[in-house]
């Protein structure tokens, strides 16, 4: 490519102008700074090392400030942590003390309950020996109040408080064994008879302090004469002879079982009056003691082996009192009224058609079953 002379001259002129302008700009940039007051101050001398020292010094000042702030915040955090640890220590100590107090309370409560039971029951077991011994060794508690006046001093003695009442009985906690004996009088429509012996045995237990239930076994017997027959001597081989004023001897034997309940009117420690009621099943046997004496006569009548056995249900009402001598032994006195109201079964020894006295036994059995039976019993009480 070829350029003309004019073109080259123009390029040289433009380059000179640009260099002049660049030189002026460089002079302005490198000139001293002018302060805001309008005056030109001399710029202090410096170099790279001095600027590096100043920069490091600034960093150290900044780090020092940061460390102070960090130390202050760490102090606050440490104080809060110490308070937290103190509160946790207090909580642990309080919990340990409360658990110790609970264990000590439970231990003393169990010991006091055991002591109370031993003293109330007057137990002589080895576990109760120390309590009974300590109780007997304790001096009588007295409180003396002295009043000082012009007159001679007077002393007022206040007796110790009475012992606490025994704890209520739990159901079936007390078992009683009651053997008894007495007499029974039968007031029938046709006969008035009295037993030679009546007695039995009962087993009883409590429901609460005032109510008890039990079961019992009873037995009674008596002998009486049958004055209606007047057959006492028989001439064997036919015919018979009467001995007037004498009758055949009848033996009564009765036994039964019953269930009953008692209600104690008071809760005394010595005398405990009560009323009661019950139901029972009885079986009585009536027989002649001389059954083998008469074998028969010319009229075809039989005077031997007559017997009747009757089972029946009866109801009883009773009233009495228990008299406790010690905690485990006492006496019992009771009045009882009884009456049969249902016949269960009857077994006869022979046919009453050929044995006139068989019918007499059956009539006597019905009269006794429907009679008003009045009894009085006395016995013992053994408490387990």
How many helices and strands in the chain, by DSSP H and E? 4, 11
Pull the structure tokens for residue 155: 């002393």
φ, ψ of residue 76 to 5 degrees: the values are -60, -45
- Identify each DSSP E strand in the chain by its residue range: 142-147, 154-159, 175-187, 192-194, 197-206, 211-226, 248-264, 271-288, 307-324, 329-348, 372-383
Q: Taking the CA atoms of the chain, what radius of gyration do you get in angstroms?
A: 61
For the chain, the structural domain boundaries read 175-224+250-294+307-383
pLDDT at 332: 97
pLDDT at 287: 92
What are the residues facing 381 on neighbouring strands?
330
Q: What is the dihedral of CA 355, 358, 359, 363, to 10 degrees?
A: 170
pLDDT at 106: 85
Q: What is the DSSP letter of 154?
A: E
pLDDT at 8: 58
Q: What is the DSSP letter of 138?
A: S
pLDDT string in tens for the chain (384-residue length): 555 555 555 665 555 555 554 455 555 455 555 565 555 555 566 778 888 898 888 888 898 888 888 888 888 887 787 788 888 888 888 889 888 889 888 888 888 887 777 777 766 777 777 766 655 555 544 444 444 454 555 555 545 555 556 677 789 899 999 999 999 999 999 889 999 999 999 999 999 989 999 999 999 999 998 866 544 444 333 333 344 456 789 999 999 999 999 999 998 889 999 999 999 999 999 998 876 544 444 444 556 778 899 999 999 999 999 999 999 999 999 999 999 987 667 777 777 776 778 888 889 999 999 999 999 999 999 999
DSSP 194-213: E-SEEEEEEEEEESSSSEEE
Pull the structure tokens for residue 381: 């009480």
pLDDT at 237: 35
How far is C-alpha 351 from the geometric centre of its chain's CA atoms?
A: 61
The pTM (predicted TM-score) of the whole model is 0.52
Q: Which residues of 314-345 are buried (b: 16+ CB within 10 A; e: fewer)?
A: bebebebbbebeeeeebebbbebebebeeeee
Percent helix, strand, coil in the chain, to 5, is 35, 35, 30
Helix axes 126-137 and 48-121, enclosed angle (nearest 10): 80
pLDDT at 377: 97
Q: Which of 340, 349, 332, 330 has the alpha carbon at shortest distance from 367?
A: 340
CB of 377 closer than 8 Å to CB of 181: yes
CB of 282 closer than 8 Å to CB of 312: yes
pLDDT at 295: 46
Asked if the 175-224+250-294+307-383 domain carries CATH number 1.10.3470.10, the reply is no
Q: What is the end-to-end Cα distance of the chain in Å, rounded?
A: 148
């Amino acid at each position: 490519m070829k350029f003309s002379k004019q073109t080259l001259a123009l390029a040289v002129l433009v380059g000179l102008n640009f260099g002049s302008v660049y030189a002026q700009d460089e002079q302005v940039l490198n000139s001293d700074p002018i302060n805001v007051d309008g005056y030109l101050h001399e710029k202090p001398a410096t170099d790279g090392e001095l600027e590096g020292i100043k920069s490091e010094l600034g960093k150290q000042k900044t780090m020092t400030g940061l460390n102070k702030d960090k130390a202050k915040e760490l102090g606050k955090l440490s104080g809060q942590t110490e308070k937290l640890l103190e509160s946790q220590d207090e909580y642990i100590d309080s919990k340990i003390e409360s658990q110790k107090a609970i264990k000590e309370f439970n231990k003393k409560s169990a010991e006091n309950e055991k002591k109370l039971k031993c003293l109330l029951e007057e137990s002589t077991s080895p576990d109760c020996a120390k309590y009974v011994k300590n109780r007997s060794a304790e001096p009588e508690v007295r409180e003396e109040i002295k009043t000082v006046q012009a007159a001679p001093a007077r002393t007022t003695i206040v007796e110790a408080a009475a012992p606490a009442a025994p704890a209520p009985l739990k159901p079936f906690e007390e078992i009683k064994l009651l053997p008894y004996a007495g007499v029974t009088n039968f007031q029938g429509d046709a006969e008035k008879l009295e037993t030679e012996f009546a007695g039995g045995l009962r087993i009883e237990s409590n429901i609460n302090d005032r109510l008890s239930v039990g079961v019992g076994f009873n037995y009674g017997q008596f002998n009486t004469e049958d004055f209606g027959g007047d057959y006492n001597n028989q001439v064997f081989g036919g015919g018979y002879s009467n001995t007037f004023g004498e009758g055949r001897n009848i033996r009564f034997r009765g036994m039964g079982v019953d269930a009953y309940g008692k209600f104690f009117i008071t809760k005394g420690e010595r005398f405990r009056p009560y009323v009661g009621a019950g139901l029972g099943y009885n079986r009585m046997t009536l027989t002649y003691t001389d059954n083998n004496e008469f074998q028969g006569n010319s009229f075809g009548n039989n005077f031997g082996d007559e017997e009747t056995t009757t089972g029946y249900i009866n109801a009883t009402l009773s009233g009495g009192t228990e008299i406790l001598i010690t905690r485990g032994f006492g006496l019992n006195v009771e009045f009882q009224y009884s009456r049969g109201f249902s016949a269960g079964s009857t077994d006869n020894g022979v046919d009453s058609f050929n044995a006139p006295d068989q019918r007499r036994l059956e009539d006597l059995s019905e009269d006794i079953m429907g009679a008003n039976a009045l009894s009085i019993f006395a016995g013992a009480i053994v408490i387990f």
